[in-house]
């Protein structure tokens, strides 16, 4: 059997594409190939109010598990509550919703426990020898399949979802608490109150190295919880990630081979690592056209994306090359003094020229050294 859409990788991008296709093209025949026994891996994805348009939000809605009306950030010189809605979804919800959507789709198939050993423009060869054909093949296998770049740092984290021994007083996410010792570069702690007695705490770094010392990071998460009087009763889940923070870009080909999507195709926020808003846009764009025209639609979206991403890559270069690692937190501290509308547009990758001027002009954050950045550039 030949499918209209053959999706490789059962993560966020493929899940969103399934839901967009079911909403826009209910007769489409979809095959989804995933090497693991379930979809979505072990992740939490979040997005800000305004990141997703109302039409896409209609089919994204079943995945949303948690919502908050605002969130906090904290730095040594500033604490702020932003009145911008924040939402999160989790791997178990994604797995359940997408399984249901594919089950209800005539002529569609879910292939779990099936690693892809060869991916072409119209077929995929699985580890057991099976060959599946499709009009459009989409390779969305995640950050580890993203093309390497010569200029990049890393956003890496370890998070523990914990059940507390009692109810906490947390009512809003703290998406950035930099009032912690700075190790390996910019460090902050990210906290999501999932229930009165259940919290996700992530220790996050903007580092020059992708190495994760899990034992050290676990200990730091527990130390932070103790300091904040979040008394851990048990650890329910551990989540880790290493995401690229590039300041150069690789050209993507949309003419040969499969369509590379998600991180593999460069469809993510270059500075924050947030992937959901861009993944939603790509899913909506592909679902709006016939599978034969999907590569052209993806190429057009990538060109639009790059017009915003280019500026973000400049910011990444400044963050990693013009500031000593222990001074990088000053950049984000200054950023969160900006108007809420500018902050929202930054996360949504919808910056205006005025927003860009606000980000670059004015008194620079402490620690800026263009001389040091130039020296690093010469050394490289």
10 Å Cβ neighbour count for 72?
Answer: 18
Which pLDDT value is given to residue 59? 96
Q: Is 109 left (phi over 0), alpha (psi -120 to 50) or beta?
A: beta
In 3D, which of 298, 259, 15 has the Cα closest to residue 138?
Answer: 259
Reduced to 3 states (helix: H, G, I; strand: E, B; else coil), residue 75 is strand
Q: What CATH code is assigned to 152-246?
A: 3.30.9.10
Dihedral of alpha carbons 281, 283, 288, 290, sign: positive
The segment(s) of the chain belonging to CATH 3.50.50.60 are: 2-148+252-308
**Domain 2-148+252-308: CATH class, spelled out:** alpha beta
Q: Provide the residue-wise pLDDT of the chain in tens; the chain has 380 residues.
A: 799 999 999 999 999 999 999 999 999 999 999 999 999 999 999 999 999 999 999 999 999 999 999 999 999 988 999 999 999 999 999 999 999 999 999 999 999 998 999 999 999 999 999 999 999 999 999 776 656 566 889 999 999 999 999 999 999 999 999 999 999 999 999 999 999 999 999 999 999 999 999 999 999 999 999 999 999 999 999 999 999 999 988 777 788 899 999 888 889 999 998 999 999 999 999 999 999 999 999 999 999 999 999 999 999 999 999 999 989 999 999 999 999 999 999 999 999 999 999 999 877 777 666 666 556 554 54
Which pLDDT value is given to residue 367? 67
| Per-residue pLDDT tens over the stretch 201-233 | 999 999 999 999 999 999 999 999 999 999 999
In 3D, which of 337, 326, 307 has the Cα closest to residue 366?
Answer: 326
Reduced to 3 states (helix: H, G, I; strand: E, B; else coil), residue 162 is strand
| Per-residue pLDDT tens over the stretch 144-156 | 665 656 688 999 9
Record the pTM: 0.93
In a 10 Å sphere around its CB, with 0-12 CB exposed, 13-18 middle and 19+ buried, how is residue 51 labelled? buried
Q: Is 171 left (phi over 0), alpha (psi -120 to 50) or beta?
A: alpha
| Per-residue pLDDT tens over the stretch 71-89 | 999 999 889 999 999 999 9
d(CA 190, CA 173): 8
The segment(s) of the chain belonging to CATH 3.30.9.10 are: 152-246
Q: How many residues does the chain have?
A: 380
């Amino acid at each position: 059997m030949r499918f209209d859409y053959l999706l490789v990788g059962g993560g966020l991008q493929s899940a969103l594409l399934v839901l967009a296709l079911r909403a826009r093209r209910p007769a489409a025949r979809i095959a989804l190939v995933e090497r693991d026994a379930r979809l979505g891996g072990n992740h939490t994805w979040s997005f800000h109010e305004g990141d997703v348009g109302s039409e896409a939000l209609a089919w994204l809605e079943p995945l949303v598990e948690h919502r908050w009306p605002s969130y906090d950030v904290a730095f040594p010189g500033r604490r702020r509550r932003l009145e911008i809605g924040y939402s999160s979804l989790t791997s178990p919800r994604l797995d359940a919703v997408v399984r249901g959507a594919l089950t209800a789709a005539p002529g569609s198939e879910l292939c779990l426990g099936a690693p892809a050993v060869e991916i072409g423009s119209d077929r995929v060869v699985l580890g057991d020898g099976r060959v599946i054909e499709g009009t459009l093949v989409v390779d969305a296998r995640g950050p580890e399949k993203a093309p390497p770049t010569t200029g990049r740092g890393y956003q890496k984290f370890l998070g523990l979802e914990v059940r507390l021994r009692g109810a906490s007083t947390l009512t809003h996410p703290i998406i950035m608490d930099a009032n912690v010792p700075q190790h390996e570069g910019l460090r902050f702690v990210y906290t999501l109150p999932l229930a009165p007695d259940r919290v996700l705490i992530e220790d996050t770094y903007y580092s020059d190295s992708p190495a994760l010392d899990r034992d050290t990071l676990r200990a730091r998460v527990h130390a932070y919880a103790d300091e904040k009087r979040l008394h851990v009763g048990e650890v329910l889940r551990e989540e880790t990630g290493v995401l690229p923070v590039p300041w150069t870009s690789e050209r993507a080909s949309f003419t040969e081979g499969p369509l590379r999507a998600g991180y593999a195709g460069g469809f993510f926020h270059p500075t924050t690592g947030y992937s959901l808003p861009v993944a939603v846009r790509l899913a909506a764009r592909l679902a709006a056209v016939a599978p034969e025209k999907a590569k052209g639609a993806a190429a057009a979206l990538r060109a639009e994306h790059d017009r915003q991403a280019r500026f973000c890559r400049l910011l990444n270069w400044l963050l990693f090359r013009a500031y000593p690692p222990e001074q990088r937190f000053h950049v984000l501290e200054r950023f969160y003094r900006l108007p809420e509308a500018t902050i929202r547009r930054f996360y949504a990758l919808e910056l205006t020229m005025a927003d860009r001027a606000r980000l670059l002009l004015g008194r620079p954050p402490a620690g800026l050294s263009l001389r040091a950045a130039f020296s690093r550039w010469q050394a490289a």
